[in-house]
Chain A
C-alpha cells in the first residue's frame, strides 16, 4: 500500500488514540484530583469505585499511543521523549503511584495516608505535565537533524505552566462530570457544586491562553488567520460550555455534564490538531517527514492496524457497557 497513505492512516489512528486517552483517562485523573479536595472517607471510597473498573483500561490508550508512535513515527518518539525527559519521568512515577494506590490503600490502615497522597498527587502531576507538554509544543520545539536540540527545562515557562494548570482544571471538570454521571445522593450534589466553578476556571484559562498567544505572537495564531474555518471548533466548544452552564443551573440531566465537557475537550483537541496539521512537531516535522519506511508501516498495518486496534476499540466499548449505570451508594455484600 502507498507509503504516504499508510503514514496518514497511522497519524489519524494516533490522533484518535490521544483523543480517547484524554477523554477517558482525563476523567479518572480528574476524579483523583477531586479526591484530594475532600477528606470524607465515604466520598473517597465511592470516588474510587466510580473509576476502579475502567482506569487501567483508560491508561492502555497511552501505551497504544507510545507503541504506535515508536513503530510508525520513530523520529517523533525520539524527539518528543527527550524534549520532555523529566516530565515523562514524573508522569511515569505519578501513574505508578496512583495505579498501585487502587489496591494498596485497602491493604493497610496505618499506611493509607501514603497511598491516598500518592493517588491525589499522582493525578495532579500527571494532568499538569500533560498540559505543560501541550503548552510547550504550541511554542515549538528546537529540532536539529531529527533530534531534540533544546535544554532540559524548555517545558518550564509561563505559558506551559499556565497550560499545565489549565489541564488540571480541565481534567477536574471531566472528573466532576463523571461523578455526576456515575454517583447518586450527596456525592452527586458535591460534584454538581464543583462543576460550575471548574467550568468557569477552564473558560478563564482558555481566554488567558488565547490572549497570551496573541501577545506572544505564537506561530499557531498565524495558522488560525490563514484558515478561518478552524474557528468552527472553538465555536462548538463555546456552545457546549453554554449548554453545560445551563445544565449545571437546572441540573436537568446527569448525563449532560460529561457529554458537554467531552465536547469541549474534543473541540479544543480538533482546534489544536487542525492548526498543527500536517505537522507532528509544530512547525518543523511533518507526518511524511517522520514516517517510518513503507516496510515498517505495512508490517504494523496488517496486524496491529487492522486487527488489534479494532479489537481494542470494541473491548473498550464492551467494558463501558458492562459497567454502565450508577454506582450503588451503599455497600451490598450479598
Chain B
C-alpha cells in the first residue's frame, strides 16, 4: 500500500491539535471563571467561594500544564511538515504565532506565578487583579491563534510582490471583521465548555451526596453562566455562518448539505450524504427555510456544491456532520442550562436526580462542540491551506517521505497515550476527590511549574524544599 505523506501529515496535525485544543478551550474559560469566583469571594467575604476557587485553581494548574506541553509540539508542526506554507506565508504567520509565544511567556512569567503561589504574599486586590490578568493573558493567546487561523481562512491585508506573500496592512490582519467574530465564537465556546464542566462537577457531587455546599455553588453558577452565554453563542455562530457563506461557498454548501442549486432552498436538518452520486439519502428537510436562514427571504436561489469545480471542493462529510454535531451540542447546552434555571425557580434543582444525571453526563458537550466546530472550519477549508491562495498539497514539506511521517505519527500517538492518560487520570482523581483542605503555600515552587501547585508540599519541589540563603 502506498501511503501519501501529505495525508499522513494531515492526520498527524489533526491528532496533535485535537489533543491540544481540549486544554486551552478549558483553561481560557477556567481562568475567567476563577477571576469571577475570586471577585465574588472578595465582594461577599464568604469562605465557600474561596474553597471553590482553591479547588478549581488546582484543576486549572494541571490543565494548563498539559496545554503547555502539547502546545510546544504545535509550535514546530508548521516548519517540520508544512515547510512551503511556513516559507511562503511565514512573513504573516510567523509574527502572529511568534506573538502568541511571547504573550504566553509574559503571562507565565508574571501574574500566573502570583495566582499559583502568591496568595499570602500580596494584598487581596492585587491577587484579584492577577487573576484578571491571567484571564486576559489566556484570552490574548487565543487572540493571536485566531488571528492566524482567520488569516488562513480569509486572507486579508497582504500583497503578492514577485511571488512572495508579504503583509501590507497589519491592522486589517488583526482588526478584520471575520477574525473578530471567529475569535468571539471561540471565546464563548471556551466559556461554555468551562461552564458545563463546572455545572457537571457540581451535579456529580450532588449525585454522590458529597461536597454539597461547594457543589451547589458550581451547579448554580455553571448553569447560570451557560444559560446566559448560550443565546449569544447561537447568534455569533450564525454570524460565522454568514461570513462562511460570503467568503467560502465551498465549505458553506457542504455544511448546508446542498448538492444542487435550489430556489427557494430547503433547510436540510439531517441526511446521509452519498458522495459518489452527489445526493442525499434519508433527508429530513424543511422547504423554503434554507433561503431564509441563508439570506433572510423566502425566494432566493442558493447554490449547491456542484457549482464549485471538483478540485476545489472540501470532503463533504466532515463539515456536514461536524456542523450538526456542534449545533446539537449547543442545543444540549441550551436545554440543560435553561432547564436548570427553570428547576431552580421551582426549587427542585438539587433534588431532581434525573436532571443531575443529565447535567453530569453533559460535561463533554463543550469539548465535543469545540472539536467538531474546528473540524468544520479546518476540513471545510480544504483543499486550501490558505483559502484561495495556497493548496494543502502544495504546502507540504517536499523532502518528507511517507516513512518519516509515519514514524513520527506513531511516535506522537505512543508518547501522547502514555503521558496524557497519566495526566487525564490525575485530573479525574482531582475532580473526583473534590475540594479538600486548602493547600499550604508551596515554598520554592514557581509559577512556571503549574503541575506542582496541584500536588502536596513535599512533592511540589521535587521532594526537598530548597534553601534560600
Question: Which secondary structure dominates where chain B touches chain A?
Answer: helix
Is residue A103 contacting chain B, with contact meaning CB distance below 8 A? yes
The yes or no answer to B403 lying at the interface (CB within 8 A) is yes
B426 lies within 8 A of A85 (CB): no
A299 to B99 Cα, complex, angstroms: 10
Q: Mark B81-106, 1 if CB is under 8 A from A, else 0.
A: 10110110111111101111111011
Known: A82-B79, A324-B469. A311 touches B109 (CB 8 A): yes
Q: In the assembled complex, which residues on chain A have CB atoms less than 8 Å from the CB atom of B464?
A: 45-46, 49, 327-328, 331
Which of A79, A100, A104, A327 is within 8 Å of B83, CB to CB?
A79
Please name the residue on chain B nearest to A92 by beta carbon. Answer: B73
A156 CB within 8 Å of chain B: no
**Residue-wise interface mask of A (51-72) relative to B, using a CB-CB cutoff of 8 A (1 in contact, 0 not):** 0111011001001101110111
Q: Does B449 contact A (CB under 8 A)?
A: yes
Q: Contact check: which of B84, B397, B449, B459 meets A107 at CB < 8 Å?
A: B459
CB distance from B196 to the nearest CB of A (A): 27
A159 close to B (CB within 8 Å): no
- Tell me if B404 is interfacial: C-beta within 8 Å of chain A: yes
Q: Interface digits, A292-334 against B, CB 8 Å rule (1 contact, 0 not)?
A: 1101100110011000110110010001001111111001110
| Residue among A68, A82, A315 making CB contact with B397, cutoff 8 Å | A82
Assess the B98–A70 pair: CB atoms within 8 A.
Answer: yes
**Is B419 in contact with A100, judged by CB distance below 8 angstroms?**
yes
- State the interface size on chain A (CB cutoff 8 A): 76
**Residues on A with beta carbons closer than 8 Å to the beta carbon of B83:** 77-79, 81-82, 147-148
Per-residue CB contact flags for chain B residues 427-467 toward chain A (1 = under 8 Å, else 0) read: 00000000000000000111011011001011101111111
Q: Are A74 and B90 touching (Cβ within 8 A)?
A: yes
Least Cβ–Cβ distance between A284 and chain B, in angstroms: 15
Q: List 18 A-B contacts (CB under 8 A).
A: A46-B464, A52-B466, A72-B98, A74-B90, A78-B86, A82-B83, A83-B399, A85-B404, A89-B407, A89-B411, A89-B412, A96-B72, A292-B95, A304-B98, A308-B103, A323-B468, A327-B467, A328-B465
A interface with B by C-beta (< 8 Å): 45-46, 48-49, 52-54, 56-57, 60, 63-64, 66-68, 70-72, 74-75, 77-83, 85-86, 88-90, 92-93, 95-97, 99-100, 102-104, 106-107, 114, 146-152, 292-293, 295-296, 299-300, 303-304, 308-309, 311-312, 315, 319, 322-328, 331-333
Knowing that A149-B398, A295-B166 touch, tell me 7 more A-B residue pairs with CB under 8 angstroms: A104-B422, A106-B459, A152-B404, A299-B95, A326-B467, A328-B467, A333-B458
